[in-house]
């Protein structure tokens, strides 16, 4: 089974409910859209993230009521360095979508989505702990898996696998 | 949301509450969960789980391994359902590669996954009942669990860390006599479930300890990311095997039990029903097991048979190359979720086109379910905390990774 080529333009994908809804809200909010391996990825602009999430969560046409996963990818030494990745699931419509926000390495700050999905609480704490991305508006942004006095963020690509000696 | 109020740094003594530390070595915390409880007399005012005692950096380790070398690591995340984790990971990599898996391998995966679910639920039932005080149930459950582990040993050579699924299929054709042994087990298992139910379902003490305890509403379950039996007991009618099927689950008939009560007893009843449903799926998989190969026809990804390796030059070269340099995976990213015994197990794998994953993230069901624990316990008695922890079926290896 050969892989179908990925679709990488917003125009070709604007029928998709999640993308259509966000374009109707603010066309500038979506920087790019990719359909690869039957998974839709929307790359969002950083400042509009929380509002976009609130719309996708509440609108009956999208209704992404469940946050499956939230994590981060470090593209070091590329810039913008971090990609924060949200996997949303719509229970009534049985559909998934992936949201991505690019965050620069010298200013790793982002809005928290805990007010939209309380489930984001632990996931954002984990991303803060292991990548050092800060979430503004998070109710309790402290280290989760590593000890409180740990130096550095282990899942960053410039952090050695065996740790600093 | 009350559980999201700031300043959860619990400080004692402003008024009448005190801090009680529970764990990480408490026998009812299923490993190394630490709970910080703020209590007023015997009532829990606030609770904060403290995790990370088992953090081993598996996600970081994955980035330094070849794709096929990650499979044994996935076993070690959740030591009660290794095959479920194997399956989720290999499905993600197969999706990245665009591999087609032969039907026999897919059905074997379903069969073994349901046996894993039975195994995991049996350990859960035994330990959960023991936490609440019904010590003998443990012995009954482990009797059948031993049978399941023998089946795993027969098929993979290992009782717990099986690593039986490979990218592209299975490690080996199941051995002779395996299906007969599974059939024997599946035929006598329902009456064993009756035995557990005889011990617990109508038991007055059990009912008093579980009914109405650890309540979680449907809205809270969805908002807090709960999945699996924990969410289904609260009325969330959602099962990935049925709603977003994978590995040919769409060819199987089974019921998804759902309850509206949202208490510890509902979660117990649901899991017992799931034991029976899983057994049904095992029976169907045995009856309809297709013939054919158990590995995909992808010589650059799947290791060749020993026979071919010793007689064909080409197979020898492929074997050497896969073992020494792995196989490159086309650039891309995939999120693959499956229904583990605890809920939605998801693997997010990012490839940069090389033979090692750029990033592997595991979305573990216990991790999200643990967030719902505070909601279940606040305002209840300390003794109910133990019942609630058991009822969400946490595995700390999976939470801390």
Sort B191 into a burial class: Cβ within 10 Å, 0-12 / 13-18 / 19+. exposed
Contacts of B7-13 spanning 24+ positions with Cβ under 8 A:
B8/A139, B8/A140, B8/B46, B8/B48, B10/B36, B10/B38, B10/B46, B10/B48, B12/B38
B residues 99-128 closer than 8 Å to A (CB)? 99-100
Interchain CB contact of B300 with A (< 8 Å)? no
pTM for the structure as a whole = 0.90
* pLDDT attached to residue B349: 93
Strand partners, A35: A7, A40
Q: How far apart are CA A54 and CA A65, in angstroms?
A: 10
Residues of chain A with pLDDT under 70: 1-2, 165
Q: How many CB atoms lie within 10 A of CB B69?
A: 16
Cis ω on the peptide bond leading into residue B208 (within 30° of 0)? no
Place of tokens 């980035």: B63
Task: Judge whether B393 and B124 are in contact, CB under 8 Å.
Answer: yes
Sort A140 into a burial class: Cβ within 10 Å, 0-12 / 13-18 / 19+. middle
* pLDDT attached to residue B313: 92
* pLDDT attached to residue A2: 67
Kindly report the backbone phi and psi dihedral angles of residue B335, in degrees, each rounded to the nearest multiple of 5, phi listed first: -115, 115
A residues 68-127 closer than 8 Å to B (CB)? 68-69, 71, 73-74, 85, 87, 91, 94, 96, 98, 114, 117-119, 121-122
**Mind listing the pLDDT tens digit of every residue in chain B (401 residues)?**
334 444 445 555 566 788 888 877 776 667 788 888 888 888 888 888 888 888 888 999 999 999 999 999 998 888 888 899 999 999 999 999 988 899 999 999 999 999 999 999 999 999 898 888 888 888 999 999 999 999 999 998 888 888 899 898 898 889 999 999 999 999 999 999 998 988 888 888 899 888 888 888 999 999 998 999 999 999 999 999 999 898 889 899 998 999 988 899 999 999 999 999 999 999 999 998 898 898 888 888 898 888 888 899 999 999 999 999 989 999 999 999 999 999 999 999 999 989 999 999 999 999 989 988 888 888 888 888 888 888 888 888 888 88
Sign of CA dihedral B261, B262, B263, B266: positive
Place of tokens 């803060």: A128
For residue B338, give the chain A residue with the closest CA: A68
For residue B372, give the chain A residue with the closest CA: A119
> pLDDT tens across B326-373, in order?
899 999 999 999 999 999 999 999 999 899 999 999 999 999 899 888
Helix axes B382-392, B264-287, angle to 10 degrees: 20
* pLDDT attached to residue A73: 92
Alpha helices in chain A (DSSP H): 10-13, 17-25, 49-58, 120-131
> pLDDT tens across B115-156, in order?
999 999 999 999 898 888 888 888 999 999 999 999 999 998
> pLDDT tens across A104-146, in order?
988 889 999 999 999 999 999 999 999 999 998 888 888 888 8
- Taking contacts as CB-CB distances below 8 angstroms, the residues of chain B near A71 are 348, 361, 363
* pLDDT attached to residue B3: 41
């Amino acid at each position: 089974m050969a892989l179908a080529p990925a679709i990488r333009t917003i125009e070709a994908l604007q029928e998709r409910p999640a993308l259509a809804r966000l374009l109707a809200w603010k066309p500038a909010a979506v920087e790019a859209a990719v359909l690869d391996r039957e998974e839709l990825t929307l790359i969002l602009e950083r400042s509009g993230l929380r509002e976009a999430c609130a719309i996708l969560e509440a609108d009956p046409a999208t209704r992404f009521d469940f946050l499956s996963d939230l994590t981060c990818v470090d593209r070091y030494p590329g810039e913008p360095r971090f990609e924060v990745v949200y996997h949303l699931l719509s229970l009534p419509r049985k559909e998934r979508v992936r949201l991505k926000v690019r965050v620069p390495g010298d200013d790793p700050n982002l809005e928290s989505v805990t007010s939209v999905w309380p489930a984001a609480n632990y996931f954002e704490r984990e991303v803060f702990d292991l990548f050092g991305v800060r979430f503004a508006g998070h109710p309790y942004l402290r280290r989760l898996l590593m000890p409180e006095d740990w130096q550095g963020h282990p899942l960053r690509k410039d952090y050695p696998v065996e740790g600093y000696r | 949301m009350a559980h999201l109020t700031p300043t959860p740094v619990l400080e004692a003594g402003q008024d009448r509450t005190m801090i009680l530390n529970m764990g990480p070595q408490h026998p009812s915390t299923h490993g190394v969960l630490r709970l910080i409880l703020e209590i007023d007399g015997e009532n829990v005012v606030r609770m904060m789980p403290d995790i990370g005692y088992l953090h081993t950096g598996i996600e970081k380790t994955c980035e330094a391994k070849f794709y096929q070398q990650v499979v044994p690591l996935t076993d070690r995340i959740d030591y009660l359902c290794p095959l479920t984790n194997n399956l989720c990971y290999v499905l993600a990599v197969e999706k990245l590669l665009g591999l087609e898996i032969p039907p026999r391998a897919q059905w074997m995966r379903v069969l073994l996954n349901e046996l894993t679910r039975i195994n995991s639920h049996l350990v859960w039932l035994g330990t959960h009942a023991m936490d609440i005080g019904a010590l003998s149930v443990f012995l009954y459950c482990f009797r059948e669990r031993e049978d399941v582990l023998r089946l795993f040993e027969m098929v993979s050579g290992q009782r717990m860390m099986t690593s039986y699924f490979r990218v592209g299929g299975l490690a080996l054709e199941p051995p002779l006599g395996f299906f007969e042994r599974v059939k024997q087990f599946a035929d006598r298992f329902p009456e064993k479930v009756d035995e557990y139910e005889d011990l617990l379902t109508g038991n007055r003490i059990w009912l008093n300890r579980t009914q109405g305890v650890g309540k979680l509403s449907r809205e809270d379950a969805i908002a807090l990311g709960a999945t699996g039996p924990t969410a289904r007991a609260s009325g969330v009618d959602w099962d990935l095997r049925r709603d977003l099927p994978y590995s040919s689950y769409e060819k199987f008939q089974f019921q998804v039990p759902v309850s509206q009560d949202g208490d510890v007893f509902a979660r117990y009843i649901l899991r017992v029903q799931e034991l029976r449903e899983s057994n049904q799926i095992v029976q169907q998989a045995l009856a309809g097991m297709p013939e054919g190969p158990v590995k995909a026809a992808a010589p650059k990804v799947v290791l060749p048979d020993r026979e071919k390796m010793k007689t064909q030059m080409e197979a020898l070269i492929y074997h050497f190359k896969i073992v020494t340099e792995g196989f490159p995976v086309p650039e891309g990213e995939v999120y693959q979720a499956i229904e583990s015994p605890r809920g939605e197990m998801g693997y997010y794998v990012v490839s940069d086109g090389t033979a090692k994953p750029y990033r592997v993230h595991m979305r573990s069901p216990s991790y999200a379910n643990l967030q719902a624990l505070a909601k279940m316990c606040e305002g209840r008695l300390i003794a109910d905390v133990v019942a609630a922890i058991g009822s969400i079926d946490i595995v700390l290896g999976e939470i801390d990774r």
